[in-house]
Amino acid sequence: MDLNLLDRSLAARGEPPYRARQVWEWAARGAGSYEEMTNIPAALRAELEREVPLSSLAVEREDRSRDGTRKALLRTADDRPVEAVLMTYLDGRRSVCVSSQSGCPLTCAFCATGAMRFGRNLTASEILDQVLHFKRSDKVDHVVFMGMGEPMMNVDAVIAACERLPSVGVAASRTTVSTVGWVPGIERLTADGPPVRLALSLHAADPALRSELMPVNDRYPLSEVLEACRAWREARGKRVFVEYVMLAGVNDRYEQAVALAEALVPREAFKVNLIPYNPTGAGFEGSSRSAIDAFAAALRVHRVPVTVRLTRGRDIDAACGQLAGAVASRSDGAPAPAG
Ligand code: SF4
């Protein structure tokens, strides 16, 4: 729901300030229509129905994976594509992966989103509406900002969305904001953000290789990024989750694990998640299971805490790095990073 539009509409009618909160509480609980909002006068409900759409995003399509993952392709009012994914886990967790931008101005070599044209930053309402889309038909208890876009380039809206997530049922401790290393955003989140978790997409400790994979490294070198992460740890007392996508023959060798371990000091400030790669047609292959296990073992020998991430939604291009492939090829005319 466009919360600014809601505020303006209610103010224009001279409604008391608590009305916006009442409407939001219903939306946050997953209400599917204004009719359900029984503590709002019927005449006002009818007017809001006409003026303030229940969601700022229209649903274009939704796919469901064999493993239960759901991927929604949504559209903003100005026709920008946005993808969001609901991942379901055997232990009952329901996690929504949200986009913070339509497209992405950064051009990480392995990522489908980076290959599509950048649209714009999403508003806080558009971020929240991705979560509410799933909340209307399922439980949601975790949110990760790992969809399309670099959240730290849109940090005001990301913080505003994070601040409202607890009312949707997602505690700050269950919200993870991910970054490729946009230092000003990390510093802002450290200073002003709610008590969320921070994840850093690192992918290579070697500067030349990291710049090749992630051009943002030329602007904010890894040493500066890790310094900002250490400041986060210092200020928040929380460790940073390091995401490392495993690319066969590119960043999965023993000595690269050692270089990663050497970069992650102090040890207690970081935890590594190794991510099996989902091909996007960008010319990379995922590392084999044995290569991933050997990399993890090398990190453990160096006392780096590490887990190997489950991959979800691979068959519907909903896994990490795959978002936007279908959107770009179907709707934008941008180069199709065929998944
Ligand atoms: S990995 Fe993230 S920052 Fe890099 S191009 Fe993809 S969406 Fe953008």
Question: 80-131 pLDDT, tens per residue?
Answer: 999 999 999 889 999 999 999 999 999 999 888 878 889 999 999 999 999 9
**Contact predicate 220/181, CB 8 Å:** yes
Whether residue 113 has its Cβ less than 6 Å from ligand 1: yes
What is the 326 CA–ligand 1 centroid distance (Å)? Answer: 16
DSSP 267: G
Which of 99, 113, 327 for mutating ligand 1's site (highest number of atoms within 8 Å of CB)? 113
Phi, psi of 212 (to 5 degrees): -65, -45
Is 106's C-beta closer than 6 angstroms to any atom of ligand 1?
yes
Q: How far apart are CA 200 and CA 166, in angstroms?
A: 23
Which tens digits make up the pLDDT trace of 161-199?
A: 999 999 999 999 999 999 999 999 999 999 999 999 999
Model confidence pLDDT, tens digit, residues 256-268: 999 999 999 999 9
Report how far ligand 1's centroid is from the alpha carbon of 104 (Å).
Answer: 6
- Give yes or no for residue 213 CB within 6 A of ligand 1: no
Q: Please answer whether residues 248 and 285 qualify as being in contact, where contact means their C-beta atoms are separated by less than 8 angstroms.
A: yes
Distance 82 CA to ligand 1 centre (A): 14
Asked if 127 contacts 157 with a C-beta cutoff of 8 angstroms, the reply is yes
* One-character DSSP codes across 134-197: HHTTS---EEEE-SSS-GGGGHHHHHHHHHHHHHHT--GGGEEEEES--HHHHHHHHHH--S-E
What confidence tier does 328 reach under pLDDT thresholds 50, 70, 90?
A: very low
Tell me the C-alpha distance between 260 and 3, whole Å: 43
Q: Does the beta carbon of 114 sit less than 6 angstroms from any atom of ligand 1?
A: yes
- Across the chain, the runs of DSSP E, i.e. the strands, are 57-64, 70-76, 81-88, 94-97, 101-102, 120-121, 142-145, 175-179, 197-201, 240-246, 270-276, 306-308
pLDDT at 319: 58
Ligand 1 atom nearest to CA at 147: 7
Lowest mean pLDDT, pick from 164-168, 282-286, 310-314: 310-314
Q: Locate 165 and state its tokens.
A: 């997530």
Helix axes 155-168, 18-28, angle to 10 degrees: 80
- Preceding peptide of 266 cis, ω within 30°: yes
The pLDDT value given to residue 338: 24
- Which positions ≥6 away from 111 have C-beta within 8 Å? 104, 280, 282, 321
Residue-range domains of the chain with CATH: 1-54 (1.10.150.530), 57-316 (3.20.20.70)
Atom of ligand 1 nearest to the CA of 112: 6
**Catalytic annotation, residues:** 83, 320
With pLDDT > 90 as the criterion, what percentage of the chain qualifies?
85
Ligand 1 site, residue 243, Cβ cutoff 6 A? no
The pLDDT assigned to 313 comes to 74
Task: For the chain, give the mean pLDDT.
Answer: 92
CA of 320 to the centre of ligand 1 (A): 10
Atom of ligand 1 nearest to the CA of 180: 3
Beta carbon of 149 within 6 Å of any ligand 1 atom: yes
For tokens 């007017």, the residue is 47
Q: Return the pLDDT at 298.
A: 98
